Amino acid sequence: MRDKVVVKWGGGLITEKNQLCTVDRDIIRSLVGTIITCHGNDLDVILVHGAGSFGHLRAKQWRLNEGKIDPSNFIADDFCSTQEQAVKLVRKDMLTLNSIIMEELTRADISAAVLSPHKWVNGTGESFQGDLTFFAGAPEGIVMVTYGDVVDCDEPLQFGILSGDDLVTRLAIEVPNVKRLVFAIGGVDGILRCPPDRASEDDLIEIWSPDIEFEGEHKSDIDVTGGIGLKAARGAKVAQNGIEVMMVSGQHPQRVADACIGVATRGTKVVYNVK
Ligand code: IPE
């Protein structure tokens, strides 16, 4: 069986995060090119993408990350009047974003299959329930795709938000032959010592382990999932299992490609413990 790489395309990278349901096709196309590089280097790819403006804005408005809550908390808008309708709408928007990615993969002659989390996952966080064997059993050269989604949860929650960061953690650790996990992120080169608006070139943390503090930016007014802090924590857990973990700027496709094939590049290598 060929080696595999698990790649997360951040939602903030592939969409305009503040503008409802707006995609950045040029970035997606350049990222698709990095998958071709992986295949050319005998690596299979498991692709997980985020939500960006196809998920966070409406999920935040309807507090879908909190599960089912008292309907009196909400005022109907032109699109939905209940949390249940919002669940359906966000799932539909995520299918739209995913279909754009699948379209770009097909355009590049890459065969891919998608497993939408709302069809196979129950629960949120890294201990979600769901069968990962389809990802393990994919034929050589077929890209298995999944993404952050609204998933069913047990009562009393009924539903919740599963982050792509939790999916990549489980996939990297549990699917056999995964050599690397690469986070392609938007707006930053990796983990910075201070928030991006104050950071200079030298503030990139090139090797990060959980004992290193950083002031990560998390736009909690927009995001319903964890931002860079969640990626860092999940990444360390994956690294603890002997898998290489890199965070790189997805605006530089060469860095994404290099990180995937194991060539040193600008970004943050996440380790469990600095020796
Ligand atoms: C969030 O998934 C899913 C929804 C809001 C529906 P992610 O946590 O993987 O998304 P990004 O990368 O932050 O956009």
Q: What is the pLDDT of residues 7-25, one digit of tens each?
A: 999 999 999 978 899 999 9
- The tens digit of pLDDT for each residue in 73-119 reads 999 999 999 999 999 999 999 999 999 999 999 999 999 999 999 99
Confidence of residue 225 (pLDDT cuts 50, 70, 90): confident
With both helix axes pointing from N to C terminus, report the angle between 83-107 and 25-40 in degrees, rounded to the nearest 10.
60
Mutate to test the pocket of ligand 1, among 28, 56, 188 (most ligand atoms within 8 A of CB): 56
Nearest to 131 by CA among 115, 147, 145: 115
Q: In the predicted model, what is the mean pLDDT of residues 163-184? A: 98
Confidence of residue 274 (pLDDT cuts 50, 70, 90): low
Confidence of residue 255 (pLDDT cuts 50, 70, 90): very high
SS3 category, 19: coil
- How remote is the CA of residue 151 from the centroid of ligand 1, in Å? 12
Has this prediction a pTM greater than 0.75?
yes
- Whether the link from the prior residue into 156 is cis, omega within 30° of 0, is yes
- Which pLDDT score, from 0 to 100, does residue 199 have? 86
- How remote is the CA of residue 55 from the centroid of ligand 1, in Å? 6
Q: In the predicted model, what is the mean pLDDT of residues 157-180? A: 98
- Which pLDDT score, from 0 to 100, does residue 223 have? 79
Which ligand 1 atom is at minimum distance from the Cα of 225? 8
As a whole number, the mean pLDDT across the chain is 95
Distance of alpha carbon 249 from alpha carbon 237, whole angstroms: 21
Mutate to test the pocket of ligand 1, among 64, 88, 96, 225 (most ligand atoms within 8 A of CB): 225
- Which pLDDT score, from 0 to 100, does residue 1 have? 82
- Which pLDDT score, from 0 to 100, does residue 79 have? 93
Give the list of residues 6+ apart from residue 3 with CB closer than 8 angstroms, or none: 42, 43, 44, 177, 178, 179
Is 60 exceeded by the pLDDT of residue 275?
no
- How remote is the CA of residue 227 from the centroid of ligand 1, in Å? 9
Which ligand 1 atom is at minimum distance from the Cα of 230? 8
**HEC readout, 187-210:** CCCCCECCCCCCCCHHHECCEECC
Nearest to 93 by CA among 124, 130, 118, 73: 118
Q: What is the DSSP letter of 108?
A: T
Q: Taking CB atoms and a 6 Å cutoff, what residues make up the pocket around ligand 1?
A: 10-12, 50-52, 55-56, 59, 90, 94, 148-150, 161, 163-165, 224-225
- Which pLDDT score, from 0 to 100, does residue 41 have? 98
* 143 CB-side CA count, 13 A: 27
Q: Compute CA distances 170 → 103, 124, 180, 212, whole Å.
A: 26, 12, 13, 24
- How remote is the CA of residue 50 from the centroid of ligand 1, in Å? 4
